[in-house]
Amino acid sequence: MIVGFIGLGTMGSNAARNVRRAGFEMVVHDIRPEAVERQMEPGVTAGSSPADVLARADVVVTMVFGPKEVEQVVRGPSGFLSSNCKGKYWVDMTTSSPRLMRALAAEVEAQGGHAVDAPVTGSVDAAIRGDMPMFVGGEDTSIEHVRPVIEAMGQLRKVGRYGNGYVAKLVNNQLWKIHAAAIRGSGRTHARADTIASVGATRLARIQRARWRRACLISVVTGRISVRSASDAGLRRSACRAA
């Protein structure tokens, strides 16, 4: 199996190295020639465009900056859709819009390709070690086909149908921000304990809201992502819109 890799930033470059360490021959591409050059070693060749990578690989992994960039990889003049997608497997690890990505996957699949979403969480250290948690969505047969590639980069966590991985990643990001805000608020509260009395009900209400938000839970049940919160209906609505 030949693996293509598009997007060789801080996370992507390390993920690509782990794919190579697992023994896969590779074709790599990035808009920055120096990023491609740093990946060069026996068994790795450079692709001139996303279409060229797709033509030369069996499985192509993308890990680019965001929705605009991944759309260019697929729909651009030298993107996947300008090539032959039949029988090809596409694994996208970008943090992106579930709606856009489902549309892009449908276009690839209409040409005979197979799409799997696998957004990641974790630090650069996790990318280096090859144990990034990955929220993986798609058809079971497609996931199993690309499992060796995914497991070379991180921990596979199945979340149901294609697109659910993006939803899980966005909810994960939201919860991280909530926890960060709660911790920051708690720190300020302890540092200024002597002013609590004068702040009164307003400050106490803010602290309570932060604590309520920390009670948010993510559950992945029969392929569906749901967000439950006793007090933050807005977070639930935003997650549903993302899906």
Residues identified as active-site: 169
- At how many degrees (to 10) do helices 164-191 and 98-110 cross? 160
**Rounded distance, CA 158 to CA 160, Å?**
6
Residues with Cβ within 8 Å of residue 178, at least 6 apart in sequence:
210, 213, 214, 216, 235
Q: How far apart are CA 225 and CA 242, in angstroms?
A: 11
Partnered with residue 160 across adjacent β-strands are none
What phi, psi does 67 have (nearest 5°)?
-55, -45
